[in-house]
Each structure stands twice: as structure tokens, then as C-alpha cells.
Amino acid sequence: MSKETMSRRDALRIGALGTVGVAMLTASNAMAAAPTEKDVKFDEEYDVIVIGTGFAGLAAAAKAAERGYKVLILEKMGRVGGNSVINGGGMAVPNSSWQKKYGIEDSGEMFIKDCLKAGLGINHVELLETIVKRSQDALDFSIKCGAKWQDVKPAWFGGHSAPRSLVTDNMSGSGVIKPMHEFVEKLPGCKIMTRTKMDDFVMSADGTSVVGVTARINYRFDPKLLSDDVENKTGEKKVYKAKKGVVLASGGFSMDKVFRKIQDPRLVEDMDATNHDGATAGALLKAFQIGALPVHIDWIQQGPWASPDERGFGVAPLLTQQGLFKFGVAVDVRNGKRFMNEMADRKTRADAEYVILREAPKMYPVAIGTYNTFEEQIYPIIEKGLAAGGVMKKFDTLDALAANYKIPADALKATVKKYNEDVKNGVEDEFKKQTLKGESLKELKGGDPIDMKGPFYAIRLVPKPHHTMGGLKINTKAQVISANTNKPIPGLFAAGEVTGGTHGASRLGSCAIADCLVCGLVAGENI
Amino acid sequence: MSKETMSRRDALRIGALGTVGVAMLTASNAMAAAPTEKDVKFDEEYDVIVIGTGFAGLAAAAKAAERGYKVLILEKMGRVGGNSVINGGGMAVPNSSWQKKYGIEDSGEMFIKDCLKAGLGINHVELLETIVKRSQDALDFSIKCGAKWQDVKPAWFGGHSAPRSLVTDNMSGSGVIKPMHEFVEKLPGCKIMTRTKMDDFVMSADGTSVVGVTARINYRFDPKLLSDDVENKTGEKKVYKAKKGVVLASGGFSMDKVFRKIQDPRLVEDMDATNHDGATAGALLKAFQIGALPVHIDWIQQGPWASPDERGFGVAPLLTQQGLFKFGVAVDVRNGKRFMNEMADRKTRADAEYVILREAPKMYPVAIGTYNTFEEQIYPIIEKGLAAGGVMKKFDTLDALAANYKIPADALKATVKKYNEDVKNGVEDEFKKQTLKGESLKELKGGDPIDMKGPFYAIRLVPKPHHTMGGLKINTKAQVISANTNKPIPGLFAAGEVTGGTHGASRLGSCAIADCLVCGLVAGENI
């Protein structure tokens, strides 16, 4: 039997026998449909299989395991946590008990309105309503799992019309992932396998339901490949049964050099993103092949708070979001002037930066502030920013700062002076930088937001692919909807960035944790 | 064997025996993967199978048949031509021999720049380059098939920076479809079957290649169903072999009440579109299930030149595009003022109309002009507009017009007066209405563009879903790219609106015929 003539079913029958002929299998299986349970022999059997170990995957696994299910969690990378573990640790909880504690008025309607505004009105409102209904539960569940959140007034993230975001104690998603990972590992019948890549779904004999997955153990992701999902042949084939179903929580595809470029040809192969290397579309694309519906697949959010002077997410986002953007300014180096509302939604700000970068490539705009510009909880990060390969620079005077970035110094000084005055006087500035429910920036921060005595801190800015809004269509029970029935695919749930619709054209900051934990929890409850 | 336990393969084996148990088959097959050739018995055998009878399908079929192939063309509706036959008949041919004949300067670069501007930069440039290279060939091929084009100066369509669009003699896509249909029917070995719906692809035994399709004959599309693709069970199953391959030219999904709403929840189920009822996503979604990659799937273009006073495409688009928009004005009924460049790209204009309609639902803006405002070739359509259930209305005075639409009369008169003056003086107006390569509107049309003596013609405006930019990913040979290999799926080609990428976020007017004929031709050449 040659490789060419071997059928998919033959191939899978061989596959179930062990690791013989793995390379051949992988090649032959490359374009075949998902196998059915008749085509495979299961190596192991579980109640629930979860793909991915980010917020969504761990929440789903924890909830399912807590319900007494035997759960297998597959993670293709060598470490647990996907993008979640390098996330900034902010979680929007609209109309929460924490807001009430700090006297902040909010409502589910306000939250949905904010999301629809940023999302250009194409958001799936029923999924936003699910976040409104369940984000307090999801927060409480994370705390039950051991996550620690700063017990301070909720933070105000860009595009939100109220301060409604909690931040983990360590200002990182790892503050949720690590305890949740430990929680899951302690639960009986819960097993995490890293370096295990899901290859495909296994369908019921009639092709209608998901009953398991094929996977490879001892797989090694290779970031040097153009398309790891297609080209990587490492590992040994295994077939796992999922009696209750599969939860797909495989994340987004901001690092998928092929698929992201198909959606936006401007995202060239070597373009950096804030994501970990493994953020590719492979599992999502397999879901489309069993009938999952693609939603909003071309909306790729670019983080406007990233730096060209470090790889990946880095430390710049925290320093800008909780400091230089919030109370400082971002200026166009060509004229020393502000060019955007530094607290607008991500798309608005990334677009504003692109206007400059298209006119003058590499003339990265610069975010500027002083020590007091930063939120107190961010102070420990300042040294990291100054240390980490020069992401943030420190200057004694605005003249020195201007000279370094070739900004017209007088224009820059005038910009900072006017900004300070506007804040002091509670005047709405030219870009209508947001104020909190009528409070002016002045009331948030005493004195000049940028201390003219210096020293001055500066970070160069570049938008980086950060979050893929698109994905597969789910309902409010986290069930994946089939193109063939317009009803749920039995046995298939999905949660987190692999799904689409919730955030429409642009996700607001701190809505990822909310979305992932809520839908993960919901999937774990409903499976 | 019960329906529940019957496997996909069992079902298909029964299916191949005849029409017994069709309802059961359809139900059972609803979520199954595409069958392989091992699972089916072919009823008939062809070299090429083309799905769809619009511009793309007929061009592919004509070219393949001309090359000597035996071609089967499947059309699910009762008539040939899809949306193409109700299209306005304009075809952009950049840098064409006809432009040279009329002394018009143009270039492929200008065309691509125009498309990228409207498409928000996410267009797949290699596909635009294919249009540049092959649109003259496609035009010539249409003429060879019998299409007749007006031998006049190419028309200037919105968003184009040069007049580069030819229009058929009868100002309708039927001017291409009818002769091409006749051409195809005369070719030996070419067979068109209407009311025959493709249900799925048939794959090679190893699942890697497309080798045929399953279909239903005597199928009757039912526009009353929420989702005809999922719910309609009419017809009898057939299986057709395609030795050389299948060309998917099944069109867009502007009338798919389910899938379009998933992409944009604002497109509620009962919203009208310019498309024929059968413009649904069924075949596209089946292609995703054999690995075709989704591209730009949520960009749904709304035609800014449609009327709320007629169903579907109607006559309004011709009357506005070749008249009231080009040389007349569109005004906001609330204040009698212009509110957009009436010749901008479609997205810009639809967005401008939506700004009004969101603030004041049902306060449809009105396009206004006089007899001389219309292009001469549109004169025969004027009576149709006035007759067809009142799509266009005629008033002796601007006062009467203003009274009818409740427009402040003085403001309206001032708007028209200023517009006429701007045109006369060659002044760039406030919305920077485009001029042709330095020519002012005045030079295009002698005297007042709106004759103050009247009578005045008016059409109410509403955006209608018109073209779905998204679809599946093809290369410049019209081969469909697989998510599983990043290479072509052997035996599968696609052309026209079912593909995505070419037009990016927004297609320019008259680029549909170019795209469809070029890619259809290319598919027919390469299969």
C-alpha cells in the first residue's frame, strides 16, 4: 500500500496501532475529513477533553472536574497558560460587587453599549449579556481556585465608560492561571498533558457529534516554520475518547503567519505580535471542517500600547495603559503634538498610530510622562521597563527627551504645558480624552499629571497584532453552532479567543479575561 | 437499521441506489463530512462540473467546454443567471483598448490603488493584478460569446479615479448572461441543469481531492424558509463525477438570513437586499468543510443607491448611479443639505446614509435631479422608474418636491443653487465630489446639472445588502487553497462572489463583472 493510495480510514487504523508510520500518517491525513469513531481505536477514554490551558480552558476543566467528570486537558506548548499567562491581568466585571464597594455606578447596559461602540455594532449581544450575567460568578470562581485580585478601586481601561476592571495581585494573567492550574491538578481525574497537540476531532459514526480527538504526544512546536500546523510532523499519534464532549479553548491566531495574512495582507510574516509563538489557527480551522461557522474572522486587533523596542507583549502595555497613556501624552515625533485620545478604544488608537507610520515608516510616536504619571500599583514595573533592553527611556529634561527622539523641543514643551493646564482646569481637551463619570483627570491625580521638573519617561509606540476577534460561532451555552443544522454540534463546546462575535470588530481591554472565564465556566457547566 | 444508527457511508450507499429514502438521507447527511468516492456510486460522469450560472460559472463553463471538456452546469434556481442577470451591466476594464480609443488615461496601478482605498487596504493584491492582466481578455471573451457593450466613452463609476467601466447594450448583466448562456448551450458536451442543488462535494478515497458532487434534481428553492440550505428537503439525490474538477461559482450570501446575521447582527431576517432570493451561503459553507479557508467573511457591502420603495435591486441603482448621484445631489430631508460625496465608494456612502437613518429611522435621504441630470443612455429607464410602483417621483417645482418629502424648501433650493454654481465654476465642493482627471463636472455636462426650471426627479435612498466581499481563498489560478496544506485542493476551483480577498472590505462598482468573468475564465483555462 503506497502513501498515495492509502485511504484515510486505513491510515487511522494503522495509527491506532502505535507510532509506526507516523510521518506517513500525518502526510496522508493532511487533507482528510475528521475520522469517525468507526475509523479509530481509542487509546484512552475521558468524560471531557479540553483543548488549551488558557483562562477559558482551565475554567472549563476546573468546572467540569468539580462536577465529578474525568477531564483530559491538552496543551500543545511546553508550558501551561497560552497567551493568558502573559496577559496584563485586568478583568472587566460590569456592575460588580467591587464597584459597589467603591461607590462606582455601572450597569450591564453601559458595558454592552461600550462594547458595541468599540465593536462597530456587529457584536453578538447575547454573548455580551452572558458576560454581564456571569462575570461576577466567573470572578468568584477564579477566587475559589486561588486567584488573588487587588482589593482597590476598579481600574479604568480605555473605551470603558466606568472603572470596572479588577487587576490581579501580580498584574499578570499568571495570577489567575497559576492558581487555577494548581486547582485543576489537585482535582481527582483531571490530567494535563503538555506538548500534546490536538490534530483533529473524532466524530460519531453518523458524523453528527464530536466524540473525541486525535492528537500527538511528544510534539514540539517549531516557531521557525511558516506554518507549524501544516508542516510540523513531530510526535506520536494518540486517539482520545470524550464521552461528554470536547471544549475547544485553543485561543486566537495572532501569530499564525499564514492565516492572519490571508485576513490582512499587511500583517507580513515577520511582523511581531503580543502573543506567544503558539497562537495559531490550526484547531479553529479543523472546527470549520466539521461544520463550525466562521464569524468576524478578519478583525485582528492591534494593541496600540506596544513597543517596537521589545518582542511580544512585553512590559510596555502596562506602563502605557496604567501610566503614560492614562495621565501622560502620546505625541507625533514629527511635530511634538498629540494625535489621539490616549484612552480611546484600541482600534481608534492603533488607527491613529498607523496614520503616522504609513506617512513616515519607523517614525514611531512616543508616549511621555513622569514618575507621578504612573499608577502606584505600577511602580514596581518601572524599573523593568527601564531595564528590559531599553523599552522605556528616562531623561532629565524634556529637551533631552526631544533631542533623543528628534522631536521639535518647543512644540513638545507647549504640548505638555497645555495638557497639564487642561487637566488642572478640568477642561475637555481637543481629543476628548475620557473622564470618569464626570470626574476630571485632575481629580484622579493631584497636581500636574506630567511633572515639569522631570525626570521624564518615554516609550516608543507601535501597534502589534494582539487579539483575533473572529472565531467560531457559539451560543450562550458555549455550544458550537453547525453550518449544517444551525443548531449545536453535539459534543462540541468552545470558549475564549477561538470563538467570535462577542467583541465585534474590536475588543475592549480587560474584556478577554471576562469573556474567557465566563465562557469557560459556562462550557464546564453545560457539558 | 434505524435513522439514528445509520452511518454516513450506509446512507450514501443507499442514496446511490436511487431516490428511496431521500428525506432520511438528507436528515442523516445533515452534519456528515463530505463523502468519498468509495462511499458513492456515480450516476453520471463529466470532465468538469460548474456550480452556478452567473458570470463566473458561465465563463468557466464556456472556457472549459471550448477546450473540449464535457461540462455539467448545476443551477439550483429555476432560471439561469443568479444575481448576474439582475446586475446593472457595468464592467471595469482598467487600462483597456476602449479607454485608449476614447483618449482616457488609466493604468493598472491606478485601478489597484482605487480598490485598495475602498477595500481599506486588506485586498489581496495578487487577485487585483489578475483582473488588471486579464479583464481585457475577459471582455473579449464575453464579446466572442455574443455580449454587446455600448460603444461609448467608458463610464465613470463611484470610487474609480478614471472612467473605465463599459456598460452592456441593455444596461443589465443579462446582456452578458443571455448570450453566454446560449453560447454554452450550443457547445457540444455542455449541459445546464436548473433546479439542481449541489449538496456536497465528493472527495477522492484518500480525502485529498474533489472528484465530484452530490446534488438533488427537481429541487425547489423555498424563500419562505429561514434557511433553505438547511431546511429544504425537496428533490432526488444524484451523484456526479467530475474527472477534471469542480468550479464553485455559487455566488454570495446577501440573502442568507442566518449567515449574514451571524456576520452582522444588524441585518435582521426580514431585511431586503438587492440580491435574488437564492443568494445563500450553503455551497460556500460546504467548501469550508473540506478545508477551504474563509477570508473577509464579515464584510457585507450595502448598496447606497437602493430605494426603500421597491424590492430587491430594482431600477433605482441605475437612475442614481448614472444620473441623480453623478450630476445631481442627495440631501438629508431633515435640513435639505447634502451629506456626502454622491460619487464616493459604496461603503463611504452607505455609512453616510446610515448616520441619518440611525438618528432618524425611516427618514430616508432623497436623491434629486432633472431630466438633463441623467446620462443619455439612461433615458429609457426613466419611465420605468416613474412607473414601477413609485420608485422615482416627478415634481414640477422644488417646492412641491420639498413638500412631498417634508424637506425645508428654502434650504433645499439653496443647496441646489450652490451645487449648480460650484459645478459651473469648476469649484471643488464641500464633499470633494470627484472630478475626472482634472475635468470638472461642468465639462462633463453643459449648463446647470440640475435645471432650475424643472421638472424635478427624486428617489428615496436606503442601503441594501448587495455584495458579500468575503468567501473562500483562491490563488491567481482560481484554485481553492486548503487550510490543511496551504496549497490548492486538487480538483477544486472557485470564481466570483463565493471567493474572498479581491475586493477587501468594500468592492467598487463595476468590479463584480470584471472579477467574475476574469476568474471564471481563469478557472476554465486551468481546470
Return the active site residues of B: 346
3-class DSSP assignment, residue B198? strand
Q: pLDDT digit string (tens) for A208-219?
A: 999 999 999 999
The CATH H-level superfamily of A43-299+469-527 is FAD/NAD(P)-binding domain (3.50.50.60)
What is the predicted pLDDT for the residue at A455? Answer: 96
Give residue for cell 467583541. A503
DSSP per-residue letters across A418-459: HHHHHHHHT---TT----BTTB-HHHHSSS-SS-TT--EEEE
Q: pLDDT digit string (tens) for B280-316?
A: 999 999 999 999 999 999 999 999 999 999 988 889 9
Which chain A residues touch B484 with a CB distance below 8 Å? Answer: 30-31, 230, 285, 289
d(CA B151, CA B136): 15
On the CB side of B414, how many CA atoms lie within 13 Å of its CA? Answer: 8
Q: Which residues pair with A212 in a beta bridge?
A: A202, A241
DSSP element (H, E) containing A11: helix A8-17
Q: Which of B6, B288, B485 sits opposite A31 (nearest CB)?
A: B485
| Residue contact B34–A36, C-beta within 8 A | no
**pLDDT of B495 strictly over 80:** yes
Identify whether the C-beta of residue A95 lies closer than 8 Å to the C-beta of residue A71.
no
d(CA A199, CA A212): 11
- A460 is an active site residue: no
A235 vs B322, higher pLDDT: A235
A–B interface: beta-carbon pairs under 8 A? 161
| Residue contact B8–A206, C-beta within 8 A | yes
| Residue contact B265–A125, C-beta within 8 A | yes
d(CA B393, CA A289): 51
Which chain B residues touch A204 with a CB distance below 8 Å? Answer: none
| Lowest mean pLDDT across A163-167, B129-133, B427-431 | B427-431
**pLDDT of A136 strictly over 50:** yes
Instruction: Give me the mean pLDDT over the B139-144 stretch.
Output: 97
Min Cα separation A485/chain B (Å):
6
Name the average pLDDT for chain B.
90
Q: CA nearest B119 in A: which residue?
A: A264
The yes/no answer on whether domain B304-464 falls in CATH 3.60.60.10 is no
Which chain A residues touch B298 with a CB distance below 8 Å? Answer: 122, 295-299, 470
Instruction: Give me the mean pLDDT over the A360-366 stretch.
Output: 94
Min Cα separation B27/chain A (Å):
9
| Lowest mean pLDDT across A143-157, B23-37, B439-453 | B23-37
Which chain A residues touch B206 with a CB distance below 8 Å? Answer: 4-8, 28, 32
Identify whether the C-beta of residue A69 lies closer than 8 Å to the C-beta of residue A244.
yes
What is the predicted pLDDT for the residue at A17? Answer: 37
What is the predicted pLDDT for the residue at B31? Answer: 56
Which chain A residues touch B501 with a CB distance below 8 Å? Answer: 262
pLDDT band at A90 (very low <50, low <70, confident <90, very high): very high
Phi and psi for A162 in degrees, rounded to 5? -150, 155
Where along chain A do its domains lie? 1-32, 43-299+469-527, 307-464
Identify whether the C-beta of residue B154 lies closer than 8 Å to the C-beta of residue B135.
no
| Lowest mean pLDDT across A27-36, B89-98, B169-178 | A27-36
Which chain A residues touch B7 with a CB distance below 8 Å? Answer: 36, 38, 205-207
- One-letter amino acid for residue B385 of the chain: G
d(CA A259, CA A279): 11
Q: Which of A7, A28, A38 sits opposite B7 (nearest CB)?
A: A38
Q: Which of A207, A230, A486 sits opposite B33 (nearest CB)?
A: A207
Of residues A164, A195, A216, A346, which has the active-site annotation? A346
Which chain B residues touch A470 with a CB distance below 8 Å? Answer: 297-298
- Share above pLDDT 70 across residues of chain A, in percent, rounded to a whole number: 91
- Share above pLDDT 70 across residues of chain B, in percent, rounded to a whole number: 91
Q: Which residues pair with B337 in a beta bridge?
A: B332
| Residue contact A299–B298, C-beta within 8 A | yes
Give residue for cell 478515497. B205
SS3 letters across B455-523 = CEEEEECEEEEEEECCEECECCCCEEEECCCCCEEEEEEECHHHECCCCCCCCCCCHHHHHHHHHHHHH
Instruction: Give me the mean pLDDT over the B186-206 stretch.
Output: 95
Q: Which of B226, B263, B266 sits opposite A295 (nearest CB)?
A: B263
What is the predicted pLDDT for the residue at B286? Answer: 98
Identify whether the C-beta of residue B324 lies closer than 8 Å to the C-beta of residue B368.
yes
Q: Is the dihedral of CA B143, B148, B150, B156 positive or negative?
A: negative
- How far lies A46's CA from each of A189, A241, B55, B254, B425, in Å? 9, 6, 51, 43, 79
Q: pLDDT digit string (tens) for B331-386?
A: 999 999 999 999 888 888 998 998 898 889 899 999 999 998 898 878 888 999 99
pLDDT band at A30 (very low <50, low <70, confident <90, very high): low
The complex scores an ipTM of 0.87
Instruction: Give every CB contact of residue B383 below 8 A, 6+ residues apart in sequence.
Output: none
**pLDDT of A21 strictly over 60:** no
d(CA B195, CA A350): 49
Identify whether the C-beta of residue B94 lies closer than 8 Å to the C-beta of residue B130.
no
pLDDT band at B421 (very low <50, low <70, confident <90, very high): confident
The yes/no answer on whether domain B8-77+189-300+465-526 falls in CATH 3.50.50.60 is yes
The strand ranges marked E within A19-114 are 44-51, 71-74, 90-92
Identify whether the C-beta of residue A491 lies closer than 8 Å to the C-beta of residue A209.
yes
3-class DSSP assignment, residue B6? coil
3-class DSSP assignment, residue A392? strand
d(CA A49, CA A29): 22
| Lowest mean pLDDT across A305-314, B203-212, B407-416 | A305-314
What is the predicted pLDDT for the residue at B238? Answer: 98
| Residue contact A294–B297, C-beta within 8 A | yes
pLDDT band at A434 (very low <50, low <70, confident <90, very high): low
Instruction: Give me the mean pLDDT over the A388-407 stretch.
Output: 94
For residue B455, cis peptide bond before it (omega within 30 degrees of 0): yes
| Residue contact A7–B205, C-beta within 8 A | yes
Q: CA nearest B35 in A: which residue?
A: A33
3-class DSSP assignment, residue A23? helix
d(CA A513, CA A173): 8
The three grid cell numbers given for residue A315, joined into one nine-digit string: 512590559
| Residue contact B206–A4, C-beta within 8 A | yes
Instruction: Give me the mean pLDDT over the B478-505 stretch.
Output: 97
The candidate with the shortest Cα–Cα distance to B316, out of B374, B230, B392, is B392
A43-299+469-527 shares its CATH topology with A307-464: no
The strand ranges marked E within A441-505 are 456-460, 462-468, 471-472, 479-481, 488-494
Identify whether the C-beta of residue A437 lies closer than 8 Å to the C-beta of residue A162.
yes
Instruction: Give me the mean pLDDT over the A196-200 stretch.
Output: 98
Phi and psi for A321 in degrees, rounded to 5? -65, -40
Identify whether the C-beta of residue B122 lies closer than 8 Å to the C-beta of residue A263.
yes
| Residue contact B230–A6, C-beta within 8 A | no
What is the predicted pLDDT for the residue at B445? Answer: 56
| Residue contact A8–B36, C-beta within 8 A | yes
**pLDDT of B21 strictly over 70:** no
The three grid cell numbers given for residue A280, joined into one nine-digit string: 495559531
| Residue contact A122–B34, C-beta within 8 A | no
CATH class of segment(s) A307-464? alpha beta
| Residue contact A5–B205, C-beta within 8 A | yes
| Residue contact A8–B482, C-beta within 8 A | no
Q: CA nearest B472 in A: which residue?
A: A262
What is the predicted pLDDT for the residue at A23? Answer: 35
Min Cα separation A44/chain B (Å):
24
The three grid cell numbers given for residue A305, joined into one nine-digit string: 500600547
**pLDDT of A283 strictly over 90:** yes
pLDDT band at A31 (very low <50, low <70, confident <90, very high): low
**pLDDT of A389 strictly over 90:** no
Min Cα separation A225/chain B (Å):
13
| Lowest mean pLDDT across A444-458, B331-345, B483-497 | A444-458
Identify whether the C-beta of residue A58 lies closer than 8 Å to the C-beta of residue A52.
no
Q: pLDDT digit string (tens) for B425-481?
A: 777 788 888 654 445 555 455 567 899 999 999 999 999 999 999 999 999 999 999
DSSP element (H, E) containing B318: helix B316-319
**pLDDT of B213 strictly over 90:** yes
Residue to mutate among A288, A296, A479, with most B CBs inside 10 A, is A288
Which chain A residues touch B33 with a CB distance below 8 Å? Answer: 33-34, 203, 207, 289-290
Which chain A residues touch B294 with a CB distance below 8 Å? Answer: 288, 294, 297
3-class DSSP assignment, residue B465? strand
Q: pLDDT digit string (tens) for B150-177?
A: 999 998 888 899 999 999 999 899 999 9
Identify whether the C-beta of residue A343 lies closer than 8 Å to the C-beta of residue A434.
yes
3-class DSSP assignment, residue B488? strand
| Lowest mean pLDDT across A253-262, A368-377, A460-469 | A368-377
